[in-house]
Structures are given as C-alpha cells and as structure tokens.
Structure 1
Amino acid sequence: MNFSDKLRQRIEKTGSALCVGLDPRPQNDNIEEMGTWLRRVVEETAPYTAAYKPNIAYFEAMGIPGLILLEKLVADMPRDIPIILDAKRGDIGETQKYYAKSYFERMNVDAVTLNPFMGYDTLEPFLDHPGKGIYLLAVTSNPGSEDIERQPLADGRRVYQLVGDMIERSRRENRATHLGMVVGLTNAGGSVLDDLPDAPLLIPGLGAQGGDLSALAGSNRTAPPVINVSRGILYQNPELTYAQKAEQYAAQIRAALRPGS
C-alpha cells in the first residue's frame, strides 16, 4: 500500500482530516514523565486523528534520551495511523541518504517533511521507498514565506510553483515514494492552491497561528489533505481533555472540507 492510500483509508475510517502535532516542551529532565504524557495524548486523540506529526526538534532538544523517546513513541503507535516526521531536512545527496535511512528504515515513519530549495537531486535519496511519503515545503505558514517562497519569477509564476514542478517530475519518473507539499493555512489564500498540483497536502497554521479554514473551500482537490494542530491541542484550553479538543478541531475541519455534510 502506498502512503497516499494509507492516509486516505485513515481519513475515511475516522471521518477526520486532523493531524495532531506532537511538540513536547520539556519543563524538566523527566523523560519518563514526558513519555507518559505523550502516550496519553495519542490514546485520547486517536479516534479523531488522521495522522500524527512529531516534530523532531523538540525531541532533539532533550538530547539522546529525547531521540530514544521518539523512537519508542513511534514504535508504540497504532500502525494504521500514518506518522509524519516533521524534520524539514535539506542537504546534499550523500547526507540525505543517511537521513532517509534514519527516518524510513530505523524509525520507520510513514512520511517526512523536506526542504526542497537545494534542488531535486537532494530529494532523490528519499524517492525510491515504496509505501513512504515526503512533504516538500512549498508555502509555509510563517510571514517570512514571502521572502522566498511567494516571490515572483520572470515568467510570472511564483517560486513555490517550482516545488510543484518537482512533484510532477517525480510522477513522470514513476518514483515509488509519494510526494506531497506543506502549505500553511495562513498563506493558502488567493490562487495558491490552484497554482499547485493535486497532491497530498500537509497544512499547518490552524489553532494558535490563527489560520482560516475558509482558504480551503472550493479548491476541488482530490488528494488527501491533513490539517495540523499542535499547540491548540497540547497546550491551549486546559479545561478540556485532549479528546475533546481533537474532536472539536476534527469537526471544524470536516465542516470546512465538506460543507453541508
């Protein structure tokens, strides 16, 4: 089964396109306590979750014990729920080969985020892994996406459309890994979605970043999207359970993607 099919099956099973971001902010050095908390989040939110997105930076900040925690957490997750590792790696091919080995072979995550702005050759070590997926940064959710990603090209297109070209090239080459894009909800308005190929989208920016789900309305895309919420579930509204927050976000997303349903 390829990555897109696995994700689509999970969305159909749960009726949810919510991706829960796992961004632990350690208040002390108690790794065991952190692991217990993260497993509780996963257990409570799983019924409403299409995918999980652990951000590797938060685990790296805890040192080697944090990376061991990440490996154990990934290994313990239900295998029918796709795991997207948020790493945003981008380097020369030889280095990328070992990133791919680490994430796809050692951690066995389903997908990983990559920075494509060093060129297509830096993606190639990730492109021949059956059942796996990668999400290329296209239009990120931060204001600085205007500095490079949304700049105009000489032919009138935008820089982010060059990322879309990489998606199309991988399809022409019939690469085994399925490619998608990261498109921040805060910057997804206007013609952005129409300018990009119909490929799976990882969409951050809902919740604490203030993204508006109406930006997704009417895009007529068929590839499965997931909308990520991290802080909004982990840290905001502590009077609600993680399950309640996940259920609320899942309902908001469903209403935006399927008006009238």
Structure 2
Amino acid sequence: MRYTERLQQRIERTGSRLCVGMDPRPGGDGVEAVPDFLKRLVDETWEYAAAFKPNIAYFEAMGLRGIEILGELMGAMPKEVPVILDAKRSDIGETQKYYAQGYFEHWKVDAVTLNPFLGYDSIEPFLSWEGKGVYLLAVTSNPGSADFQQQILADGRSVFELVTALGARSVAESNATDVGYVVGLTHAAEVLAKMPDAPLLVPGLGAQGGDLAALAAAKRTAPDVINVSRGIAYAGDERSFAQRAAEWAEKIAAAYA
C-alpha cells in the first residue's frame, strides 16, 4: 500500500487530521524521565492521531541517549498510526542514500521531512522506497520563509513552486515514494492556490497562531495533516494529553465540516 493511501485510511478511520508532534524537553527529572513521558504521550493520544511526528533535533540534543530513546520509541509505536520523522535532511545524493536507509530501513518510519534546496538529486535516494513518503519543505511556518521560499522569480513563479515541480517530476517518473509538502498554516492563505493536491504536513496551529480557515476553505482532497506539538505535550494546564489531543482533533474536524 502506498503511503498516501495508508494515511488516507487512518484519517477516515479516526475522523481526525491531527498530527501529534513529539518534541521532548527534559525537565528537572533529566533525560531518563523522557521515555516514560513519551510512552504516556503515545498511549494517551494515539486514538486521536492521524500521524505522529517526532522531531529528531530534540532527541539529538540529548546526546547518544537521545538517539537510543528515539530508536526505542520507533520500535514501540502503534502500527495503526503513520510516523513522520521531522528531520529536514539536506545533503548530496550519496549521503542522502544513507539517511534514507537509516530512517526507512532501520527506524522504519513511514515518512520523513526533507529540505529540497540542494536539488532533485538530493531527494532522489528517498524516492524508491515502497510504502514510504517524503514531505519537502515548501513554505515553512516561520517569518523567515519570506526570505527565500515566497520570493517571486522573473517568470512569475514563487520559489516554493520550484519545490512542487520536484514533486511533479517524481510523480511523472512513477517513483515508489509519495511526495508531499510542508506548508505552514501561518502562510496558508497566500500559498494554497499554488500548491498541488498532494499530502501536506501543516505546522503552525496552536502556539504559532495559525488559522485553519484558509486550509479548510481550499477543499483539498489529499490527506493533509495538521501538527500540534506544544499544545498537547506542554500546554501547561491540568488536562491530560488525551483531553488536549481530543480537543485539537475536534477543533480541526469542525473547521473541515
């Protein structure tokens, strides 16, 4: 089964487009408290999750133990829920081949985020993996996305349309890996009309203040997922992870109704 089909089935089964972000920040209890924290996060939210998105930076910041924790986490994830590894890797093709092998073969994640600005040959090693997906950074949620991604070229296209052209090339070549895009909700209203109807990973809801209205109004058919990280794991209130996830899932579903 292709990645997009599996993700679509998960969305239909749960009625949820919520992607639960996993950005662990060790507190006073130290790194060794993180595995239990992540287990509770998964156990309490998986029924509401269309996908999980661990961000590799937070695990790398914990040193070698953090990488071990990520490996242990990947081995214990519910099989029903696709896992998107937020790695944003970008390197020459030979190096990318080993990133792809590490993520897809060893950690067995379902999809990974990539920075495509080294060009097509830098994403090519990820495109031959059956049942897997990649999300290319197109228009990110940070203010700096205006510095490059949204600049207008001489032919009238935006720079991010060069990114979507890479995805179109992969489709034309009938590659095994599905290609989607990262589009920040904070910029969705300005860019959605130029985005193909391919899967979107949408950060920017919750702590970053993105508005769902533009995304819902676009009437897209692709299995887009909307990420919430801090709003579930670190909301700073008395509610459980499950209660927070349920609220965000309902809020997203209501916008699409």
Match of 1:31 in 2: 31
Match of 1:248 in 2: 247
State the TM-score, normalizing by the size of structure 1: 0.96
- Give the partner amino acid of 1:65: R
CA contact (8 A) 2:26 2:33 kept: no
Shift, 1:221, TM fit:
1.4
Q: Which runs of 4+ in 1 moved over 2 A?
A: 27-32
Gaps of 5+ in 2: none
Shift, 1:220, TM fit:
2.2
- Give the partner amino acid of 1:19: C
Deviates most, 65-74 or 234-243? 234-243
- Find the aligned partners of 2:162 and 2:254 in 1 and give their Cα distance: 31
CA contact (8 A) 1:6 1:80 kept: no
| Aligned 1:192-231 pairs, distance under 5 A | 192-231=191-230
- Find the aligned partners of 1:52 and 1:214 in 2 and give their Cα distance: 23
Identity %: 61
Shift, 1:157, TM fit:
1.2
Match of 2:44 in 1: 44
The Cα offsets for residues 36-85 of structure 1, whole Å up to 9 and x where unpaired, read as 11000110011111000000000001111110110110110111100000
SS at match of 1:112: strand
Match of 1:78 in 2: 78
Deviates most, 235-244 or 195-204? 235-244
SS at match of 2:176: coil
CA contact (8 A) 1:202 1:227 kept: yes
SS at match of 1:87: strand
- Find the aligned partners of 1:72 and 1:20 in 2 and give their Cα distance: 18
- Find the aligned partners of 2:133 and 2:162 in 1 and give their Cα distance: 19
Deviates most, 112-121 or 213-222? 213-222
| Aligned 1:1-261 pairs, distance under 5 A | 1-28=1-28, 30-190=30-190, 192-258=191-257
- Find the aligned partners of 1:96 and 1:256 in 2 and give their Cα distance: 38
- Aligned length, in residue pairs: 257
Gaps of 5+ in 1: none
SS at match of 2:217: coil
- Find the aligned partners of 1:70 and 1:238 in 2 and give their Cα distance: 26
- Structure-2 change in CA distance of 1:83 and 1:118 (3 Å): same
State the TM-score, normalizing by the size of structure 2: 0.98
- Find the aligned partners of 2:236 and 2:210 in 1 and give their Cα distance: 18
The Cα offsets for residues 97-145 of structure 1, whole Å up to 9 and x where unpaired, read as 1100110011000000000011011000000000000000000000000
